[in-house]
């Protein structure tokens, strides 16, 4: 019998276990649909999740439901925005609740949320993406609203939220409240009318208003016991301790939900008045370990918030007092003490309207060594028309800041800052650009300031700078700085400093800059070799792409420059003067001039980085440049006329240029377009400095290129997309005219024609003898045009002439003249023969002799011309043949 009972018991247990395992799979679809229907029927948003895991064993005798990758996505006006995204949700409930009808409310015993990201948005119209509850509806027959009976009824013994984040961004007020690393848990029986909820919370909190961070990732810890009165919707602070960073605050009071709004009655204070409380308020990243800090004096915060929050009241009335008197602190590892610290600040709101918030800093002052600094400020109308009055006065030795407070600076500070500035303004005045209606006065001086970083070749030392402030502008009365061998002095003014600071307006100014010596190398750093990460199979560069240099888009400035000497790379400019206009990401050069390369250069034009590809448009005037230096030092001129560096003399030119700029704002030669009119004032050519000229010179026996006449030579060049076209121009070698034209590329390829118009007297005794035999004065000035076609590259030229055509042309000319002569001679002979015939003579032999003479003459002329021209244009070849002989 016992054995039978045990067997039956075992079978029952097995069946129960099988049911516990299989039932969740049977009812999984129903549970998933129940969750989606329950949410989607009540909310104007779409709920989605990846999967559900239902178990009757995990928390037996309760059922558990795990939902993964949950998202709640908004409809219009926040269409597509994710209000809530959760990595995992765990729910625990009774078996009866698991299988309850979809029309019944769902009661939970426990829930846990992990990896939640909540993004609350309020747009400029005041619409909130969390306002997603569906409105209840009424029918004509009903006088009361009917509500869905489905929903959730929270009756939990505990809950937990881990690894979560909440972002609240209100575009209508410019406020952001960001909570990260949120971990929160609570326990208590919330099914009772009156209960206690014990909670623990840790998080990092940031609070930003109008781009000003009042809390910046401050650590927050809250251990709180709340009294919950469900019938009256009243939640009381029973035992609470809040730590903001390490600043403790205790709370008393309650929050009660009303039919239309909330009633708030809360008071708070620091439980102690130790001045270390102030250091505890500062994030530990900046304040470091404050345990060993020596402090004197008191610091306290007290406040209360009371009143109703409803449609007419943005907030409860508020008053917060922050005070400290004659306090000091000293970090144990630092040499300086900050003392005589006095703080008296009140934050208040007596109406419950956000715009009536008042922040009154009656006094904030401190002393380091003998330097004192004091400030006070009154800020009102924070939301609608921010209004401020402030005064800053004192002296600060910047080097002492890091000696008194553990601030980590990438660049050590030094110098003495003196300030006495008063200001009073409101945003409405600034937005309407009525700066004359603001009140600004005072001065600021900075001396002995040195700025040094790895991004600079040399430290920048500001010997002295002085500013004065008035209602309409900030005046730079003095600026004296030095970096390496460079000295800079400047004066000027900024006309709308407040508009730039508070209203995103252009920074407008005028400045005069002078320098005795300005070396660009003092502000440039050599690029380092990229680091690489090496594995067994690959080597991967770890550098990032260089950032493109941009002309500031916030500047509207006029700068006049007068520099006695400017050094750029290997160029030395002297007496550099001109005006620089900066506006709309464009720098415009106006009447800029300088002495350079033995002459002068003038520039007018602009460069812009506004588009995706920076570009420029510039007119240059060059006068009396030393040619050999100019074409060796200036890449642009070298690209336009690669052979010009072989010319000894001076250059005058006017250039119009346009094209793209690279990331360092240097011209991209492949995109260059424009034209240049160049005038060479030279007297000699050094052919050894140019492979093209030396190759051409070696192929011409009748000419010495070093003796070319280049006086007052002018040439017009046009260029576009990396190709230069040279308009036809003429140079002289004695009485030989040479016509030149063609093109070349910035890639050094070329295609040029040089036509040599050679007088007959250069063709040798054979040809001149033939011409003299014609006894024709029109042939004495015969010109033989021979064209040399120059191709290849400037470093590997190829030269080919049309000498054979010249042979044919000249031969034909001589033959035609000879034929004309022979015909004339033949006519005379015919007459003579005819006369003889009439007198009994015979003319047959004479005619044959004439034909033979014409044929022999033609052959002799052609051979003479060919041999002469071959000697002129194949000098090297001829020499080789002579060597063979």
pLDDT band at residue 633 using 50, 70 and 90 as cut-offs: confident
Q: Measure the CA–CA gap between 556 and 505, rounded to whole angstroms.
A: 10
Task: Give the position of tokens 């800059």.
Answer: 513
Q: Which pair of tokens denotes residue 339?
A: 């003392």
* C-beta of residue 270 within 8 angstroms of C-beta of residue 220: no
Q: Measure the CA–CA gap between 690 and 744, rounded to whole angstroms.
A: 15
In angstroms, what CA-CA distances link 320 with 282, 315, 361, 549, 725?
Answer: 18, 14, 12, 48, 79
Please report, rounded to a whole number, the percentage of residues in the chain having pLDDT higher than 90.
18
Strands 518-519 and 555-568: parallel
Output phi, psi for 712, to 5 deg: 60, 30
* C-beta of residue 615 within 8 angstroms of C-beta of residue 659: yes
Please give the residue that has the higher pLDDT: either 803 or 339.
339
> pLDDT, tens digit, for every residue of 650-693?
888 888 888 888 776 778 877 888 888 888 776 667 666 677 77
User: How much is the pLDDT for 646?
Assistant: 66
> pLDDT, tens digit, for every residue of 384-442?
888 999 999 999 998 898 899 888 777 778 899 999 999 999 888 888 878 888 888 99
Lowest-confidence range among 142-146, 326-330, 336-340, 495-499?
142-146
User: How much is the pLDDT for 306?
Assistant: 94
User: How much is the pLDDT for 613?
Assistant: 86
Put residue 805 in one of left, alpha, beta given phi > 0 → left and psi -120 to 50 → alpha.
Answer: alpha
Q: Measure the CA–CA gap between 755 and 739, rounded to whole angstroms.
A: 5
CA dihedral 55, 57, 58, 64 (to 10 degrees): 40
User: How much is the pLDDT for 31?
Assistant: 56
pLDDT at 523 over 70: no
Show the DSSP H helices in 328-376 as ranges.
none
Task: Give the position of tokens 């792409």.
Answer: 545
User: How much is the pLDDT for 60?
Assistant: 58
In angstroms, what CA-CA distances link 255 with 155, 241, 307, 310, 775?
Answer: 21, 17, 10, 13, 129
* C-beta of residue 281 within 8 angstroms of C-beta of residue 249: no
- The secondary structure of residue 829, as a DSSP letter, is H
Long-range Cβ contact pairs of 810-813 (< 8 A, separation 24 or more): 810/763, 810/767, 810/782, 810/784, 810/865, 810/869, 811/858, 811/861, 811/862, 811/865, 811/866, 813/779, 813/782
User: How much is the pLDDT for 747?
Assistant: 82
Task: Give per-residue burial for 117-146: e unless 16+ CB within 10 Å, then b.
Answer: bbbebbeeeeeebbebeeeeeeeeeeeeee
CB atoms within 10 A of CB 816: 10
User: Which H/E stretch holds residue 25?
Assistant: helix 2-40
Task: Give the position of tokens 């003319």.
Answer: 843
- Tell me the average pLDDT of the chain: 77
Q: Measure the CA–CA gap between 646 and 773, rounded to whole angstroms.
A: 44
User: How much is the pLDDT for 97?
Assistant: 56
Q: Measure the CA–CA gap between 466 and 474, rounded to whole angstroms.
A: 10
Q: Which pair of tokens denotes residue 792?
A: 């290849």
User: How much is the pLDDT for 877?
Assistant: 40
Please give the residue that has the higher pLDDT: either 851 or 19.
851
User: Which H/E stretch holds residue 803?
Assistant: helix 803-838
Q: Measure the CA–CA gap between 555 and 586, rounded to whole angstroms.
A: 10
DSSP conformation letters of 577-588: EEEEEEETTEEE
* C-beta of residue 444 within 8 angstroms of C-beta of residue 418: yes
Q: Measure the CA–CA gap between 22 and 10, rounded to whole angstroms.
A: 18
User: How much is the pLDDT for 45?
Assistant: 78
pLDDT band at residue 516 using 50, 70 and 90 as cut-offs: very high
Please report, rounded to a whole number, the percentage of residues in the chain having pLDDT higher than 70.
73
Output phi, psi for 865, to 5 deg: -65, -45
> pLDDT, tens digit, for every residue of 2-14?
444 444 434 333 4
* DSSP bridge partners of 544: none
Show the DSSP H helices in 377-434 as ranges.
398-404, 427-431
CB atoms within 10 A of CB 234: 15
Q: Measure the CA–CA gap between 267 and 708, rounded to whole angstroms.
A: 100
Output phi, psi for 839, to 5 deg: -100, 15
Q: Pick from 717, 710, 705, 707: which is nearest to 741 by CA? A: 717
User: How much is the pLDDT for 661?
Assistant: 83
Q: Measure the CA–CA gap between 399 and 396, rounded to whole angstroms.
A: 9
Q: Measure the CA–CA gap between 335 and 326, rounded to whole angstroms.
A: 20
Put residue 503 in one of left, alpha, beta given phi > 0 → left and psi -120 to 50 → alpha.
Answer: alpha
Put residue 647 in one of left, alpha, beta given phi > 0 → left and psi -120 to 50 → alpha.
Answer: beta
> pLDDT, tens digit, for every residue of 595-631?
888 889 898 988 888 888 888 898 988 888 887 777 7
* C-beta of residue 708 within 8 angstroms of C-beta of residue 666: no
Q: Which pair of tokens denotes residue 84?
A: 């809530």
pLDDT at 320 over 90: yes
User: How much is the pLDDT for 795?
Assistant: 82
Give yes or no for a cis peptide into 556 (omega within 30° of 0): no
* DSSP bridge partners of 116: 86
* C-beta of residue 657 within 8 angstroms of C-beta of residue 690: no
pLDDT band at residue 822 using 50, 70 and 90 as cut-offs: low
Give yes or no for a cis peptide into 222 (omega within 30° of 0): no
* C-beta of residue 56 within 8 angstroms of C-beta of residue 79: no
pLDDT at 591 over 80: yes
Lowest-confidence range among 19-33, 547-561, 709-723, 865-879?
19-33
Lowest-confidence range among 391-405, 562-576, 841-855?
841-855
User: How much is the pLDDT for 228?
Assistant: 87
* C-beta of residue 229 within 8 angstroms of C-beta of residue 257: no
* C-beta of residue 425 within 8 angstroms of C-beta of residue 470: no
Task: Give the position of tokens 């690489």.
Answer: 532
Q: Measure the CA–CA gap between 118 and 861, rounded to whole angstroms.
A: 103
pLDDT at 25 over 60: no
Lowest-confidence range among 65-74, 134-143, 538-547?
538-547
Lowest-confidence range among 17-31, 187-201, 659-673, 688-702?
17-31
Task: Give the position of tokens 């000419």.
Answer: 703
99-102-104 Cα angle (round to 5): 90
User: How much is the pLDDT for 200?
Assistant: 92
* C-beta of residue 149 within 8 angstroms of C-beta of residue 35: no
Please give the residue that has the higher pLDDT: either 805 or 406.
406
pLDDT at 769 over 70: no
> pLDDT, tens digit, for every residue of 251-267?
899 999 888 888 999 99
Q: Measure the CA–CA gap between 704 and 146, rounded to whole angstroms.
A: 111
User: How much is the pLDDT for 867?
Assistant: 62
């Amino acid at each position: 019998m016992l054995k039978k009972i045990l067997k039956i018991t075992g079978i029952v247990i097995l069946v129960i276990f099988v049911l516990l395992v299989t039932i969740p799979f049977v009812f999984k679809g129903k549970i998933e649909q129940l969750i989606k229907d329950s949410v989607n029927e009540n909310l104007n948003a779409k709920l989605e999740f990846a999967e559900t895991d239902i178990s009757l064993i995990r928390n037996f005798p309760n059922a558990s439901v795990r939902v993964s990758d949950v998202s709640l996505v908004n409809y219009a006006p926040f269409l597509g925005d994710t209000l809530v995204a959760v990595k995992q949700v765990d729910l625990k409930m009774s078996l009866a609740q698991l299988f309850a009808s979809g029309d019944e409310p769902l009661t939970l015993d426990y829930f846990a949320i992990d990896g939640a990201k909540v993004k609350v948005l309020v747009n400029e119209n005041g619409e909130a993406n969390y306002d997603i509850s569906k409105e209840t509806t009424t029918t004509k027959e009903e006088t009361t609203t009917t509500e869905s009976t489905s929903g959730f009824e929270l009756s939990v013994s505990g809950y937990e939220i881990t690894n979560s984040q909440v972002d609240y961004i209100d575009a209508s007020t410019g406020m952001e409240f960001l909570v990260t690393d949120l971990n929160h848990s609570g326990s208590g029986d919330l099914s009772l009318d009156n209960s206690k909820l014990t909670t623990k919370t840790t998080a990092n909190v940031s609070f930003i208003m109008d781009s000003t961070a009042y809390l910046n990732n401050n650590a927050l810890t809250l251990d709180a016991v709340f009294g919950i009165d469900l019938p009256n919707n009243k939640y009381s602070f029973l035992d609470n301790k809040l730590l903001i960073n390490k600043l403790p605050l205790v709370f008393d009071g309650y929050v009660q939900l009303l039919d239309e709004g909330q009633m708030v009655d809360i008071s708070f204070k620091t439980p102690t008045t130790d001045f270390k409380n102030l250091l505890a308020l500062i994030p530990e990243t900046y304040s470091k370990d404050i345990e060993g800090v020596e402090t004197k004096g008191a610091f306290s915060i007290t406040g209360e918030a009371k009143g109703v929050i409803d449609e007419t009241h943005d907030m409860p009335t508020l008053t917060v007092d922050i005070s400290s008197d004659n306090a000091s602190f000293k970090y144990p590892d630092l040499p300086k003490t900050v003392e005589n610290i006095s703080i008296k600040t009140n934050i208040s709101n007596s109406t419950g309207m956000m715009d009536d918030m008042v922040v009154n800093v009656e006094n904030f002052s401190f002393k380091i060594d003998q330097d004192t600094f004091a400030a006070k400020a009154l800020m009102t109308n924070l939301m609608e028309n921010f209004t401020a009055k402030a005064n800053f006065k004192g002296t600060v030795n910047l080097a002492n800041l890091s000696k008194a407070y553990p601030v980590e600076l990438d660049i050590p500070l030094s110098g003495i800052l003196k300030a006495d500035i008063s200001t009073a303004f409101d945003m409405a005045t600034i937005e309407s650009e009525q700066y004359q209606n603001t009140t600004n006065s005072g001065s600021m001086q900075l001396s002995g300031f040195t700025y040094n970083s790895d991004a600079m070749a040399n430290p920048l030392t500001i010997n002295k700078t002085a500013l004065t402030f008035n209602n309409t502008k900030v005046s730079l009365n003095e600026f004296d700085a030095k970096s390496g061998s460079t000295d800079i002095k400047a004066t000027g003014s900024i006309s709308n400093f407040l508009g730039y600071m508070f209203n995103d307006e252009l920074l407008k100014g005028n400045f005069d800059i002078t320098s005795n010596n300005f070396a660009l190398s003092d502000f440039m750093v050599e690029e380092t070799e990229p680091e690489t990460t090496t594995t067994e199979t690959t080597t991967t560069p770890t550098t990032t792409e260089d950032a493109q240099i941009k002309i500031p888009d916030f500047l509207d400035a006029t700068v006049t420059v007068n520099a006695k000497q400017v050094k750029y790379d290997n160029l030395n400019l002297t007496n550099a003067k001109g005006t620089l206009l900066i506006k709309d990401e464009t720098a415009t050069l106006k009447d800029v001039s300088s002495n350079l390369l033995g002459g002068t250069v003038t520039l007018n034009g602009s460069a812009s980085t506004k588009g995706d590809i920076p570009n420029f448009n510039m007119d240059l005037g060059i006068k009396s440049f030393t040619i050999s230096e100019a074409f060796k030092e200036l890449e642009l001129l070298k690209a336009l006329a690669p052979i010009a560096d072989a010319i000894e003399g001076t250059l005058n030119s006017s250039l119009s240029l346009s094209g793209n700029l690279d990331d360092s704002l240097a011209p991209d030669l492949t995109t260059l377009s424009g034209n240049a009119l160049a005038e060479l004032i030279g007297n000699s050519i050094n052919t050894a400095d140019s492979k093209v000229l030396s190759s051409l010179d070696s192929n011409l026996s009748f000419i010495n290129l070093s003796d070319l006449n280049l006086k007052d030579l002018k040439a017009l060049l046009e260029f576009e997309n990396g190709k230069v076209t040279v308009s036809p121009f003429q140079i002289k070698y004695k009485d030989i005219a040479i016509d030149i034209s063609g093109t070349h590329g910035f890639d050094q390829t070329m295609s040029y024609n040089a036509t040599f118009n050679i007088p007959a007297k250069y063709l040798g005794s054979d040809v001149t003898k033939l011409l003299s035999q014609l006894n024709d004065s029109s042939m004495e000035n015969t010109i033989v045009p021979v064209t040399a076609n120059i191709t290849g590259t400037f470093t590997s030229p190829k030269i080919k002439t049309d000498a054979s055509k010249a042979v044919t042309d000249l031969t034909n000319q001589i033959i035609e003249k000879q034929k004309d002569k022979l015909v004339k001679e033949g006519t005379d002979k015919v007459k003579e023969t005819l006369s003889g015939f009439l007198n009994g003579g015979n003319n047959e032999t004479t005619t044959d002799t004439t034909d033979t003479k014409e044929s022999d003459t033609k052959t002799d002329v052609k051979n003479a011309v060919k041999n002469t021209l071959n000697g002129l244009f194949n000098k090297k070849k001829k020499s080789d043949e002579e060597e063979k002989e």
